Each structure stands twice: as C-alpha cells, then as structure tokens.
Amino acid sequence: MLNQKLSLVLAGLLSIWFLCLGLAILTRQHSWFLRFSRRQAARPFRWIWRHWHTQITWALIGAGVLLYYLVSTNRIAP
C-alpha cells in the first residue's frame, strides 16, 4: 500500500517536472531550468557533505582499513 502511494507521488512529481520542462522549452528557458533543477536536486547532498564531510571521510577510511584487514587475514575473498 505504501509502495503504491509512493510510486503515485513520484509519478506525479515527474509529471509536474516534465510539464515545467515543456513550458521552459516553449519559452526558450530550458537551459536555465535544467541547470536550476540540477542545483536543487544536489542541495541535500551538498548540505550533508558540508556538515558531515569529516565523519564521512573517517568512515570511508575505517571501512578501507577493515576491508584491508579482512582480506589480508583471508577472512573474506578479495
């Protein structure tokens, strides 16, 4: 049920986005619209990176060290 509602919401949002893209093409503003859409889509990722980049970096380093240990001790196959 929730999955069906979520897919309907996503379909509606995509429909609105394509409608706006069509209007932007008609008014010759499609380059600006695509650039704006890309920037808006990246906002949460930029915020996460800006506020959590140190923790993300150390988590990736820790995962690399753990993977190196597991492979070097033959606990998992490379």
pLDDT tens readout for residues 16-44: 999 999 999 999 999 999 999 999 999 99
Tell whether the model's pLDDT for residue 78 goes beyond 80: no
Tell whether the model's pLDDT for residue 77 goes beyond 90: no
pLDDT tens readout for residues 50-73: 999 999 999 999 999 999 999 999
How far apart CA 74 and CA 42 sit, in angstroms, is 40
Q: For position 74, what pLDDT does the model report? A: 85
Q: For position 63, what pLDDT does the model report? A: 94
71 Cβ partners below 8 Å, 6+ apart? 77, 78
Which residue type does 16 have? I
